[in-house]
Amino acid sequence: MDVTINSPIRTECRGDVLVVEIDNPPVNAGSWAVRKGLVDAVAILEARSDLLAGVIVGAGSTFVSGSDIREFNQPLTWPSMAQVIEAIRACSKPVVAAMHGFALGGGFELALGCDARIAVPGTQVGLPEVTLGILPAAGGTQRLPRCVGLARAMRMICTGERITAEQAGEAGLIDRVVEADLLHHAVELARAMRGKTRDLLDQPVPAEDDGAVAAAEQSALRAGKRRPAVLAAIASIRNAAGPDKLAGMTAERAFFDQLQQSGDAVALRYQFFAEREAVKLPPAVSVEPRPVRTMAVIGGGTMGGGIAISALDAGLEVLLLEQDAEALARGAERVRSHYQGRVAEGKVQERDAAARLAGLTATLDWNVLARADVIIEAVFEDLAVKQDVFRTIDAFARPGAVLATNTSYLDIDAIGAATRRPHDVLGLHFFSPANVMKLLEVVRGDRTAADVLATGMALGRRLRKTPVLCGNAFGFIGNRVFNAYRKQCEYMLEEGAWPEEVDQALEAFGFAMGPFSVADLAGLDIAWRMRKAQAAQRDPRERYVDILDQLCERGRLGRKTRAGYYLHEAGKPAGKTSDAEVRGIIERASARRGLKRRALSAEEIQRRALLAMVNEAALLMREGVASRASDIDVVLAQGYGFPRWAGGPVFWARQQDRAALQADLLRLGESCGYGFELGDVSSLET
């Protein structure tokens, strides 16, 4: 191979075909050096008369998994990926993209800009730029629709959907899918083109039903919350159907330039890097994880069922245990019906579902625990019950097995103390539905061993989650911040806002759902039970809003009883106006506190809710519950519906004037009254 020193591009001649290999570990990101090397390689192909065609292939495990996002904050230096593709287009000889692993973002645009495409099965292709607040700007919005039509392009680009090579082949995006010998077949395909070039840009968008395009547009707008990147992507995709292809390309670039430094894009890039940081263990505990092949799940309820599915999807063997035959049958059925549903929806092939289910053993025989590498307990949220279960686990588990609890609030050390091996115990806090939600809080007890934590983090990644390390404190990271936020929202009810005003203000900010709609969905009784359990320890001088308790006492437990903060009548959309009974409860609560009710603007509601989260985040940093401030943003965005494009409370705090923010927090403290602890926002700086 010809190697230019330090270049991630290698070239080699296979007879009359130039093979251009991209070797930029770990994921072959399309960095400046890659782009420059590609332009040079295309120049070699053009210049040498003994060469008839070229093939671009990725070294290692993948083609090109995307652009180098670190470069997004710097001024663009020639050549951009669009300019690389322009060079391929201008080259008089055909170039074939040979893909395996991932061809995403700029990597897929590169492939779309080649004269032909070939891939091995399972290769994933897609244009996820919109999820970073930008749009594909190397012709992706112009070439993709010319192949798959406007409607499908909107779906793929606006949601960042990835499809497999097989699906891409059916859609005409890939010319050939070959089982093996990718490079050999790519070279043959390049030769078979007999020197003819072609560009997707030269073909017209296929004829489509206007109604289908409009429907795809509406659904993309809904799913993408009408964020600027989605609006731009739709407009750009529509340009592909226009008469002037070069104007479409120019407009795409202009959209990109507008979006690149927009608030959304900056926040989404921040989230992207924060997620990558969050999954890393701090150096002190960064050790080899213990191997995991078999997972036991104790308790097949809502969470246990979801955790089992998540593990089966990751190819683990799962042992499901329950307290009695009836609960066991229910738990196993929960898992089975999930897969039946996936097959019925066409999301999973029947044989894949069967293969996953074959990994499940549902049993009442605790002796099987001896086979488990990791055991996750998801029984009722009650310390005595959990300690009892852990004593039994301790009796049956093999030495070295990792013992985890999915508790939401309980003390990991108190649970670990029920065993003779607290160093093997940690918290693995999944979110509901556990097979869908990405967040996993990995909770470190006082005595948890480093390799047990490392195993928890590695297991989280294997289950395709975002594991975040947390200290063992009430509510860990997420529920601590969420409780502070919810409490602040309850104060605002007492001061004069109605539930729908609070919900609407926070939904307008970007939360998937306002706090009172969330409470109705989850059920108010969970919080009610906890409040009752904590009543004895509560300092009577603390400001305590009892609206939720009053609702529960009247049997208003949320959606499941058709009434909570709102009425949820059968057949009617969820209520968004509080009824007279709720308003009466709220007004009496204000009167008891001696508060004259006043109107709160949406802006005040949003700011106070954010300030409450920011303050709690600062406290979490002071207490060492979070190891990095940005971890808190990852938790909020992945587990609690905080809009990713707003970055998170820590990101928000960093954008504010420090002195004004600290002054606002002081004022917030005054409104909270006795017991308020003021955090130091300087702990939230990078």
Of 242, 261, 380, 436, the residue at the interface with ligand NAI (CB under 6 A) is 380
Q: Is 379 in the site for ligand NAI (CB under 6 A)?
A: yes
User: Of residues 286-305, which lie at the interface with ligand NAI (CB under 6 A)?
Assistant: 298-304
Of 381, 507, 546, 581, the residue at the interface with ligand NAI (CB under 6 A) is 381
CB of 442 to ligand NAI, least distance (A): 14
Q: Is 131 in the site for ligand NAI (CB under 6 A)?
A: no
Q: Is 635 in the site for ligand NAI (CB under 6 A)?
A: no
Q: Is 73 in the site for ligand NAI (CB under 6 A)?
A: no
Stretch that binds ligand NAI, among 135-143, 166-174, 214-222, 400-408 (CB under 6 A): 400-408
| Residue that the structure tokens 């049997």 belong to | 555
Q: Is 490 in the site for ligand NAI (CB under 6 A)?
A: no
Of 62, 406, 419, 627, the residue at the interface with ligand NAI (CB under 6 A) is 406
Q: Binding marks (x or -) toward ligand NAI, 428..467, rule CB under 6 A?
A: --xxx-----------------------------------
Stretch that binds ligand NAI, among 48-56, 341-349, 355-363, 426-434 (CB under 6 A): 426-434
Catalytic residue selected from 21, 71, 86, 109: 109
Cβ neighbours, 10 Å, residue 380: 11
DSSP state of 513: S
Report the residue number, 111 or 379, with the smaller CB distance to ligand NAI: 379
Contact between residue 122 and residue 164 where contact means Cβ atoms under 8 Å apart: yes
CB of 515 to ligand NAI, least distance (A): 16
- CA torsion 432→438→439→445, rounded to 10°? 90
Q: Is 385 in the site for ligand NAI (CB under 6 A)?
A: yes
Q: Is 60 in the site for ligand NAI (CB under 6 A)?
A: no
Question: What does the DSSP assignment read for 405-443?
Answer: E--SSS-HHHHHTTSS-GGGEEEEEE-SSTTT--EEEEE
Q: Is 65 in the site for ligand NAI (CB under 6 A)?
A: no
Catalytic residue selected from 129, 188, 441, 500: 129
Residues with Cβ within 8 Å of 584's Cβ and at least 6 positions away in sequence, in order, are none
Q: Is 653 in the site for ligand NAI (CB under 6 A)?
A: no
Contact between residue 310 and residue 463 where contact means Cβ atoms under 8 Å apart: yes
- The Cα–Cα gap between 592 and 170 comes to 67
Of 137, 296, 378, 629, the residue at the interface with ligand NAI (CB under 6 A) is 378
| HEC profile of 320-387 | EECCCHHHHHHHHHHHHHHHHHHHHCCCCCHHHHHHHHHCEEEECCHHHHHHCCEEEECCCCCHHHHH
Q: Is 627 in the site for ligand NAI (CB under 6 A)?
A: no
Query: How far is C-alpha 542 from the chain's CA centre?
Result: 37
User: Of residues 324-363, which lie at the interface with ligand NAI (CB under 6 A)?
Assistant: 327, 331
Establish whether 109 is a catalytic residue. Answer: yes
Contact between residue 69 and residue 275 where contact means Cβ atoms under 8 Å apart: no
Closest by alpha carbon to 396, among 493, 309, 319?
319
Of 4, 164, 258, 323, the residue at the interface with ligand NAI (CB under 6 A) is 323
3-state secondary structure at position 162: strand
Closest by alpha carbon to 638, among 436, 443, 503, 359?
436
Q: Is 661 in the site for ligand NAI (CB under 6 A)?
A: no
Stretch that binds ligand NAI, among 123-131, 312-320, 404-412, 469-477 (CB under 6 A): 404-412
What tokens does 110 get?
């590169």
Closest by alpha carbon to 175, among 196, 152, 160, 151?
196
Q: Is 7 in the site for ligand NAI (CB under 6 A)?
A: no
How many residues make up the chain in this entry? 686
Q: Is 479 in the site for ligand NAI (CB under 6 A)?
A: no
Contact between residue 85 and residue 67 where contact means Cβ atoms under 8 Å apart: no
Establish whether 603 is a catalytic residue. Answer: no
Task: Name the residues that contact ligand NAI, by CB under 6 A.
Answer: 298-304, 321-323, 327, 331, 378-381, 385, 389, 406-408, 430-432
Hey, which residues are catalytic here? 109, 129
